[in-house]
Chain A
Amino acid sequence: MERQIRYQREADLEWAHKFTKHPNCERLLLCIQCGTCSGTCPLSVYMDLTPRQVMAMVREGFRDDVLRSKTIWLCASCYACSVECPQNIKITDIMYRLKREAIQSNLYPKRFPIPVLAQEFCELVRRRGRNSEFWVVFRMAFRSNPFVLLTMARTGWDLWRTGRLSLRMERIQRVNELQYISAASKEVD
């Protein structure tokens, strides 16, 4: 039987404090936990923590819970929550920041396809300046769950016959300019 209690020493208040100082995250302190964000989020019914719970946990310093969750990866960045929030909190941008931290701290769920896709995507773009839809999905599937490729066979066929499937590996010409992007400071803290 699992015991669920949170001791205050587990709460990383310094992290919480620093978090709310970040641009775009400042109004988090004003959250009145009304739940409009979760109510309007199309993905909230699939999330382990609702967006509202994430906001409360960040404020209270429960870093691990949040960074390990699937919730932040389920966010589709539709901005419905940010537009509806009565306190004008930029919830979507907070989700982005949490995603970045989850990767940097290596706490993200390792076999969950979405962060895997994100990293594959960025790898391709970092090196070539463009991504190739087919190759990104292929590599993502390979890394997380190869069987998904089978389920996508029909779609692949449909795209092929309508001339919408490009197998080219895209690349920009002046690739050298990309190195400065990768070298840029990691997080503006």
Chain B
Amino acid sequence: MEPSAKYLYYPGCSLKGTGIAYEESLLTTFRLLELPIQELPDWNCCGATTYMSVSETSATLLAARNLALARRTGSRDLLAPCNACYLTLRKSQELVAHYPQIAQETERFLEQAGLPRLDSVRVRHPLEVLYNDVGIERLRELTVRRLQGVRMASYYGCQAVRPYGEVDDPHNPTRMDEILRAVGVEVVDYSLKTKCCGGSHTGTIHDVGVRLNYILLKEAMRRGAQAIVTICPLCQFNLDAYQAEIRKQTGEPMDMPILYLTQVVGWALGGEFRELGLHRAISGRKPVEQWFTAKKEAETYV
């Protein structure tokens, strides 16, 4: 089958629920960039970190099913916006490539399920798609409005950059910083940019999870950031959803907007408030409304 130029969009379980704003802003941004994107039909849960804790083989097969479905549609690029989904899909590729027993099980499963073999499907992440496929220069050209004087901290999270440093450098990633600057945002120096947000721990060992996020939020404020920009729905949720609780516990003022990269970029490219999911912010609603209700300053770059 001829590989098509479309990006196959893999939402994962978060982007239809708590991370719906990511989906909205992603699709809007891709539309504005004229990148063809289509949802992977009948995708299944990737298993994330959880399934790997129960069975390695089954976890690989779960992920592999998605890769096989992608292969079936003929597209070569499977776009996984969620950091955990991205890593899980990538990891299953590595496991199949390096461990013959797992490769064997995978082949057997695909055969039984009537799915095509996995080959040459590339797992992508929006950060590196924007950086590699679109490019800084092009983003700069296409920017129609800038956020004047707003300082943001870029937060990469962990699983996109570790352990495979393909989306960005594991120690000191800078691609999101570059993209944000290209669309006119002032980026602060944020040393916690790859510190773990605790992932699903906020739901299980709540206090521990909340404290991890408190540290991230506090340091961003100390650095003078007015917002944090993320690329993972779970990071966004963790940083967004518990600020009221933190305010109550610590007595410290905290109301920081947590935005998706695709929301900021989408807005700079001309996207609208609601279509970018900006109305779904829990914390920092006021500044979000202020910044993103466009007085359309069509400042284009020469």
Residues of A within 8 A of B (CB): 23, 42-43, 46, 74, 76-80, 82-83, 90, 92, 96-97, 99-100, 103, 113-115, 117-119, 121-122, 125, 129-134, 137, 140, 148, 151-152, 154-155, 158-159, 162-166, 170, 172-174, 177-178, 180-182, 184-188
Contacts and interface: CB of A to CB of B under 8 A. Distances in A.
Interface stretch (B140-148, B183-191, B237-245, B293-301): B237-245
Nearest to B204: A113
B42 interface: yes
Contacts of B200: 76, 117
Interface of B: 13-14, 16-21, 42-45, 47, 49-58, 61-62, 65, 95, 98-99, 101-102, 105, 108-109, 112-115, 158-159, 162-163, 170-171, 194-196, 198-201, 203-206, 208, 212, 241-242, 244-245, 279-282
A52 to B, nearest CB: 18
A77 B159 contact: yes
Looking at A78, A114, A129, A154, the one whose CB has the most chain B CB atoms below 10 A away is A78
A125 B162 contact: no
A151 B206 CA distance: 9
Contacts of B195: 42
Contact of B199 (A77, A118, A185, A186): A77
Nearest to A113: B204
Contact of A46 (B17, B52, B58, B208): B208
A179 B113 CA distance: 9
Contacts of B204: 113-114, 117, 140
Nearest to A115: B53
Given A78-B158, A154-B245, A184-B55, 13 more contacts: A74-B205, A76-B196, A79-B158, A90-B163, A96-B53, A103-B54, A125-B47, A129-B45, A130-B44, A133-B13, A140-B203, A158-B282, A164-B20
